Chains A and B, each alone.
Chain A
């Protein structure tokens, strides 16, 4: 699905990612944990195609194709989805128009016919139920005036609409109470299949109670310093990140 070999990324001369290696196969869930400032969000943004970074890598392939050559929109249409840590409010861009455009761009990319207004509304209702998004979307601008929890649910709703092959969830749990967390996790799990994979970026183990990872990686100072199974998350929860910092010379 995704293969990252020796990825470096810097912004304004400051190196943030310092040689990341990661292999993700279809059906797998990988958790990436680590203290603040370790480069987790940078990794997510680099994969989604944000162009704020200087990037070098031996290779990054997504579904066997070179990822770095592609624009953010092509990556999205190929099936890569980023659930933003801070979804952007875009006053004046109607939510429904936005998601409809996105869905139809995906369909065109796959050589499918665009959805009619009726088909689209039906699909939208179904997916809103799936993620228990009760926010009224018509006559609203993208994320504008949404609460923190609504914004995160809205991300998962968009994911449900776009049905990506690889979903990167960047701190989808931050700012959510336990009920909202469960709802969001249920949404993510409902979309899981043997052909789809996810990268779950989080500080805390609690999200991983609901979205159970196959692998857990610890990112520290721009490098993956430890990888393991889901038990690694419990260890981190118990001991904090200090032992990682010590092991890696602070």
Chain B
């Protein structure tokens, strides 16, 4: 059987599956989700599962990840999840009441005290879509286009739930909001999660999104998050990716910013089999500022692909990107960062940096900046490095009595440092520092994931 036929079969498998479960997908879902469902699936059929011939997926082969016979989670599982029994976030002083997403479905935790300022809504997407479709219909599917990425199309076709966050005009949410995303199932599972965040004019929030996988099945997690940041609003969006080696995570985040807003993403990829992060910013108003910070640690045969696009659609905006990767073992990574300055987006200031540290001869990194500049008064700069640990610096540390392993760790921490220090939530910053150190020490495998990782 030729490879081509195999691939076609693979897409066919999903096509026949969709047709089989279509009724279940429509059933109980709001018209807001259902109205775009079939169209999205048509877009998926046209595009198929991306191959490496697709320029945007050149460095990541998703096809093998779609091979397992996945179960889909079309219903909210009726397990009364007690978060304390499955997970306890022990970040000191963070002291949040985390909300839980379980295989793509938002769960209310028993005794959940919604300790949020008045008017703020944090709930299930399915719930808000059914109860208050007017609130979301102008936003849902607006920036996550199904005709330009088949994974977004597939997500939109299968979308039933996820979380919804709404911060009304001028409301400042002081305490960070934490969401924990769990994958746990009896069999290999395909998880679709669809999230929507609306931050109105002058509002502000910190959102921490943590991933955890609880047992050793193959998971494919295809999530899409659309985020709207209103005029003069402020968002810090933290993602901690910490999943085992049999998890493939395709994580697409779309952010549209209006004038004078500031949005910052912090993406920490601590562990995962395959991680593809699609991140697209549209700067849709003047004086908007977008910051993207990313830090990934990989070992064994792990793979990460950070694919960013930033559209400077209006003049006088700023964007900053700093992505760093530490690659050990036979891990592979890719960074592709596109900056598009549209016509008349004058006085744009765009900066992009990607630094990579290869710890072995087998680790590989691909890095590709792309600048498309259609305005004439812009400042764009980009830089990429791929290298090893500075041996002169290593010798300096060792010559002061610091042993080789510790010196190497200090150097790796130093490499991560200028991304980590961008974290504004202090307790989280300290924890990330710790996690980074643990990860670099190889200790993270001794967390609850350990039993799984050793087999891989």
Chain A residues within CB distance 8 Å of chain B: 48-50, 71-73, 75-77, 82, 84, 87-88, 90-93, 97-99, 101-102, 105-106, 109, 141-142, 158, 162
Contacts and interface: CB of A to CB of B under 8 A. Distances in A.
Contact of B401 (A50, A77, A90, A97): A77
A171 to B, nearest CB: 16
Nearest to A164: B401
A109 B401 contact: yes
Contacts of B404: 71, 73
Nearest to A48: B399
B410 interface: yes
Interface of B: 390, 392-393, 395-404, 406-407, 410-411, 413-418
Contacts of B392: 88
A162 B399 CA distance: 11
Nearest to A84: B396
A106 B397 contact: no
Given A73-B403, A73-B404, A92 B398 contact: no
B411 A93 contact: yes
A109 B398 CA distance: 14
A87 B402 contact: no
| Chief secondary structure at chain A's binding surface | helix
A76 B400 contact: yes
Given A71-B404, A98-B410, A101-B406, A90 B393 contact: yes
A50 B395 contact: yes
A99 B397 CA distance: 9
Given A88-B393, A101-B406, A105-B403, A73 B398 contact: yes
A73 B402 contact: yes
A92 B414 CA distance: 4
Given A84-B396, A87-B396, A92 B401 contact: no
A126 B416 CA distance: 32
A142 B402 CA distance: 14
Contacts of B398: 49, 71-73, 76
Nearest to A141: B414
Contacts of A76: 398-401
A99 to B, nearest CB: 8
Given A48-B399, A93-B393, 6 more contacts: A73-B399, A73-B402, A73-B404, A84-B396, A90-B396, A105-B406
Given A90-B393, A92-B418, A98 B400 contact: yes
B404 to A, nearest CB: 7
A49 to B, nearest CB: 7
Contact of B399 (A49, A99, A141, A142): A49
A105 B405 CA distance: 13
Contact of A102 (B393, B401, B415): B401
B414 A91 contact: yes
Given A72-B395, A101-B406, A162 B413 contact: no
A84 B401 CA distance: 14
A98 B397 contact: yes
B406 A72 contact: no
Contacts of A84: 396, 399
Contacts of B410: 93, 97-98, 101
- 3 closest cross-chain pairs (CB), A and B: A92-B414, A92-B417, A76-B401
Contact of B400 (A50, A92, A162): A162
